[in-house]
Structure 1
């Protein structure tokens, strides 16, 4: 029979591998999804009439060792003409002993369907660095598992696409950030994780309550093979494009809110907090997100997209 410390070692490794497999099947999900629309749809690039630069840091499941931490950076705008959108993204995600880093470019072409409607077609391409640091594993007797040492890094291509229909008050989008199936293996050809395509459907409508106040309900659905349908909802108040407040809901997972203040015309600082509403609600400190957006003026004088343009 195995000794207890051997049982514990096997249990830790199996738990690690299982959690890694589950994690890598799905993209990072944020309840404040409206803050980073370029992440799940490349056709969003250039939907803002100027240049928009966004940074977002989020810490999830506060209080757990190895809890997810994610840093987003993206910038997009219109270049070479009023119908051409270009954007770049960097995303670094940490969970447990794994890190996932993406460097991506986005291109979108915006078609003027009529006086009110525009349709954008987009593509996303880049590379993904997936790493596992075995040195962070707590193994009781390291001599029993000589294969589990050092850091393993795997590089895979990323290719995505999307479509975006909008006018000044409404938007409807479909995006697949990565259409490729990727397999991450170690030096012994052991499969550590599999990455599967995530399919996103998004929509929202802006209601003008008064001349200087608007309310925008929005929704994001995510589908991925092997996982249940994910539905996220948000309702955002906007006062004079200077103050923002929203209530956010990820069904069966989290509920929370976001507040943001724009100053000096170009800068927006924001913070969101989400709390678990499932059986884990008493076991973690929630999700904290810090947001910074910089907007530069429009050169082409285009009609702004009805979506909140971050």
Structure 2
């Protein structure tokens, strides 16, 4: 099969992502958001209901600007604690995500349930256990690939899709000053039959995701009356590719403006035979800003500057997010929710 230049670009993109995961079964990495620190439902189902009042969030990320077929990701979520549950112990959430990478795409919908155990009278210190369940529709668009050999059976003539069920589990502990959490995503990936990804006898396992472990934590420090500092860390492990680490530092000015940066890199925590020894560890640095327009409405933006060898082929990444807290006439939360 003779493939055109545009098709080769798509293959380069896929190869780049596969090299990041270094997974011999051709599974891909999970989604990555720089602004996860403002809505951790994306990385932990136990976070559902943290703000107690109903909270809606929307986010869009355009990665590797000017790079043909670069990833685009968007999503909306909503979560809150059930007022009818004792001590607001039950948190519920819903998340819909869409991700596109060259000719392939994935659309997922997850429902979240969190049981939030209060550990003090004020209820601002809790141990939360969460689960999530849903489906992901994986797709590949044969029409997006240009090729010279007509009617090649290896390429779908249209948009081929398949639905795959999945689940996630998480633990989240927080106080008014610090938090720590851990979650396992894509629990069913180890048991998904590869035959789901066949098209006319050809296998597209590149669409499959692999199981991920997330571990994160952060703390809120008072520097002065109008200045607070929140450092945090996120460790993402897929057990095959390099371990990814996000180090984030945010300053809160006058309880209105968040400003800070994060550094994303790969680290080698243990030996992984399938991982190339010369794989580059550097990834990106991000500048972030979030403005609390009102006590309920916030707007955030992040710009990622790639510092790996991909830097000369694209113009960075843009990410914008919007959040709204539906407090009603009598807000249930009197203490600030910084995480």
Stretches of structure 1 that go unaligned for 5 or more consecutive residues are: none
- 1:57 corresponds to: 60
TM-superposed CA distance for 1:8, in Å, is 7.5
Of 76, 88, 108, the residue aligned with 1:73 is 76
Alignment length (residue pairs): 305
Deviation sequence 1:173-192 (CA, Å, 0-9, x none): 00113211134412334331
Matched, 1:222 2:236: yes
- In 1, Cα distance between the equivalents of 2:175 and 2:184? 22
2:11 and 2:286 map into 1 onto residues whose CA distance is: 33
Give me the whole-angstrom Cα distance separating, in 1, the residues matched to 2:288 and 2:50: 22
Cα separation, partners in 2 of 1:119 and 1:146, compared to 1, 3 Å: closer
Partner of 2:302: 272
Does the aligned pair in 1 maintain the 2:118–2:127 contact within 8 Å?
A: yes
Q: Distance in 1 between matches of 2:11 and 2:72?
A: 22
1:112 to 91, 99, 118: 118
Residue 12 to residue 190, structure 1, CA distance change in 2 (3 Å): farther
Q: Does structure 2 retain, via aligned residues, the 8 Å contact 1:41–1:162?
A: yes
Residues 92, 114 of structure 2: 8 Å contact kept: yes
CA distance in 2, matches of 1:91, 1:48: 21
Aligned residue runs from structure 1 range 1-310, under 5 A: 5=2, 18=15, 24-79=27-82, 80-81=84-85, 82-115=88-121, 117-145=125-153, 147-181=155-189, 182=192, 183=194, 184-193=196-205, 194-251=208-265, 252-297=282-327, 301-302=332-333, 307-308=338-339
Structure showing the higher strand proportion among its residues = 1
Q: State the 1:25 CA deviation.
A: 2.4
Q: What TM-score comes out, normalization by structure 2 length?
A: 0.82
Structure 2 gaps of 5+ residues are 266-281
Over the aligned positions, Cα root-mean-square deviation in angstroms equals: 2.6
The whole-number CA distance in structure 2 between the counterparts of 1:253 and 1:20 is 12
